[in-house]
Structure 1
């Protein structure tokens, strides 16, 4: 019986839970490259253990490596994941097993912005998308460790800019998980900490990790997110192919230059 050696290497690399966790983490941050030390700190892996995992994943074509000065940076390989999907779903499964989520069609899309505290960027993003996308999209937000109350200054700032602040409140992630929670089509993490700690999602939604510039004023943060969300709102999600949606989301990973 013949086996594709590339598929065998990729499946073998993913067969260990900690190696799978490395790929999950890098996919959450894609297209950003992550330093080996940061990967180890987030996943609680010793440097010697992590280096072996990274080498095997790189050899299997599932991640890429780049050296900057004395640091080694790693990123998920979308090309490697695509090849694995095509081999598994295509050659092996004969086209069966594609997830049904994310298919174009006329219906309301649910978009979640996930931040560290749901006290600033994620609430701003929720308000911006609700204003920009109209009835075609329902905007949600949550925090991994939400603040008890939303800062009154933030609410006043958004109200001054014409946003409806009534629906804005600090919500824990558990609000949108479990039975009765809305199925999400797009999940966007805001900031590196949220990207590292975000859970896996059922239903195979699009995921994106948007970085935030440090020490931004409310005005600068609002303007940055407004430009990124405007690009998302311009998409007609009823007809846009999923691959194009993901490309647009990934293209907005870095802060917009002032």
Structure 2
């Protein structure tokens, strides 16, 4: 493994290969087709192919064939090996010299010891593009399920002016209070007075593709992407069904997340648990 480190660092030293690596990290554990990657990063197919080949040669990205399609995914084991090597060898395992300088004292101490803080309500933010349906579903679900343990928020990278009426109909039929809901921009949660997040989840692929803000305090992050019910076509009944399915998929994930013994897990175990929830097939949740 040690022999691979220089190659990996050299590969990531190229700005566009680094951008590709960061995109796949944000979308983990998704497997992305080359066409989607090229569109997000605005790269020619030949250029993207060369970058992917370099990342695969360095062991940082894996290729999977599904039918006639080739899909690409971060090799998280290799990424963790690389970070572990840098921390243990270069920093000699000394968190006081390798911990990020931007983290606050309370959360920073928790990050250095590898333990999520105990005895507190956790702040959770769900992000999608429009903040009109999926992130609103997630906000309502977690708040109504475990408001004693979590302060729950949602926001959009490009929020709609109004919440989707089909989403409101589903929430109302499930007994959620929708009077307080509104579409919000992620900028509301990045100022000095904003609550410091413990968990940040993206629930749509487009939001995860974007360069989202760097959240203070190193929150646990996850990508729970799913199809956008707003794009459903057909009759009103068919559109309503798409929203019901999105709600059901998120409900199972929220229930799994709320059931995690957060206080007893260190950061690595908790991040792994969040990733495992994301990796479950979506039809499992419907």
**Larger helix proportion, structure 1 or 2?**
2
Which aligned pairs between 1:1-258 and structure 2 lie closer than 5 A?
A: 4-96=2-94, 97-98=98-99, 100=108, 101=111, 103-106=115-118, 107-202=120-215, 203-213=217-227, 215=232, 216-253=241-278, 254-257=281-284, 258=286
RMSD: 2.1
Q: Partners of 1:52 and 1:103 in 2: how far apart?
A: 39
Secondary structure of the 2:88 match is helix
Q: Partners of 1:143 and 1:64 in 2: how far apart?
A: 30
Contact 2:34–2:71 (CA under 8 A) maintained in structure 1: yes
Q: 1:217 to 1:50 in 2, by over 3 A?
A: closer
User: What's the CA shift string for 1:79-107, capped at 9, x where partnerless?
Assistant: 11111111100111111224634732222
The alignment's TM-score, normalised by the length of structure 2, stands at: 0.82
After the TM superposition, which of the residue ranges 192-201 and 148-157 deviates more from structure 2?
148-157
CA-CA distance at 1:152 after TM superposition: 4.6
Q: 1:153 to 1:4 in 2, by over 3 A?
A: closer
Q: 1:72 to 1:79 in 2, by over 3 A?
A: same
User: What's the CA shift string for 1:28-57, capped at 9, x where partnerless?
Assistant: 111111111211110111122212211111
Task: List alignment gaps of at least 5 residues for structure 1.
Answer: none
Q: Partners of 1:104 and 1:201 in 2: how far apart?
A: 19
CA-CA distance at 1:190 after TM superposition: 1.1
Task: List alignment gaps of at least 5 residues for structure 2.
Answer: 101-107, 233-240
User: What's the CA shift string for 1:169-205, capped at 9, x where partnerless?
Assistant: 1001111123222222211111221221251523322
CA-CA distance at 1:156 after TM superposition: 4.6
Contact 1:115–1:194 (CA under 8 A) maintained in structure 2: yes
Q: Partners of 2:213 and 2:185 in 1: how far apart?
A: 16
Q: Partners of 2:276 and 2:3 in 1: how far apart?
A: 33
Q: 1:71 to 1:221 in 2, by over 3 A?
A: closer
The alignment's TM-score, normalised by the length of structure 1, stands at: 0.90
CA-CA distance at 1:220 after TM superposition: 2.4
Q: Partners of 1:22 and 1:123 in 2: how far apart?
A: 29
Q: Partners of 2:40 and 2:135 in 1: how far apart?
A: 22
